[in-house]
């Protein structure tokens, strides 16, 4: 099976998205890129995560062609493809409709550094991409531009997009950014959150570069 390992990981991490309540039903999508082969494995469209098997996962090339798989690919495949085309540090992409991140996106708000774990997104905030219809090339372009220099971006009136060198990092970023979004939302309900300075976040990002077992660009 072409990209068997990557297809099996799509199944595993897709179910983790549901178990972690980062998305529901068939919502969201995820992909993994084999840079050597120039191919990526991506979730099939409209199939519940619990029902997906490795053979259902679609393999595509960077020209948007289906190379292997019996299913229709995610409607957001262009949003994944454009990141692989433009970011050599990205080999995995996750898109979710996680509640708190999506709430901020629907309010037209970026996610500032109210908590240092925002640094999982690669900077001192999670930026906001303008709204465009789901599955459109326009949305793919907006997301790519907004994610420049980051590993996470909010999609206006839509959801959250995260990425990384591995699917493990992209998933961790989705979890931690959603946690930060919830903390920020709850803090706003009480008062005005204290936002960490750019200098403070620079210190955080420097520590992140040597924390644990690095996977972001491996």
CB of 5 within 8 A of CB of 37? no
Closest CA to 18 of 50, 46, 55: 50
Q: 218 or 205, which is more confident?
A: 205
pTM of the model: 0.93
Active-site residue list: 76
Average pLDDT over residues 150-170: 98
Specify the pLDDT at position 212: 55
Specify the pLDDT at position 94: 98
Q: What CATH class is the domain 4-208? A: alpha beta
> Is the pLDDT assigned to residue 56 strictly greater than 90?
yes
CA distance 175 to 180: 9
Q: For residue 187, what pLDDT band results from cuts at 50, 70 and 90? A: very high
């Amino acid at each position: 099976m072409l990209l068997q390992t990557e297809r099996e990981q799509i199944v595993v991490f897709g179910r983790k998205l549901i178990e972690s309540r980062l998305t529901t039903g068939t919502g969201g999508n995820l992909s993994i890129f084999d840079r050597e082969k120039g191919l990526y494995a991506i979730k099939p469209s409209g199939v519940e995560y619990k029902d997906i098997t490795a053979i259902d996962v679609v393999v595509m090339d960077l020209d948007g062609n289906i190379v292997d798989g019996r299913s229709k690919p995610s409607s957001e495949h262009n949003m994944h493809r454009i990141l692989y085309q433009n970011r050599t540090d990205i080999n995995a992409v996750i898109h979710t409709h996680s509640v708190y991140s999506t709430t901020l996106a629907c309010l037209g708000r970026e996610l500032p550094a109210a908590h240092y774990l925002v640094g999982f997104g690669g900077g001192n905030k999670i930026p906001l991409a303008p709204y465009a219809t789901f599955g459109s090339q326009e949305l793919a372009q907006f997301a790519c531009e907004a994610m420049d220099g980051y590993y996470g971006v909010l999609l206006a009136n839509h959801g959250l997009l995260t990425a990384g060198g591995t699917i493990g990092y992209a998933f961790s970023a989705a979890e931690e950014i959603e946690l930060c979004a919830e903390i920020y939302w709850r803090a706003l309900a009480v008062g005005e959150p204290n936002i960490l300075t750019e200098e403070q976040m620079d210190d955080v990002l420097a520590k992140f570069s040597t924390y644990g077992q690095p996977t972001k660009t491996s």
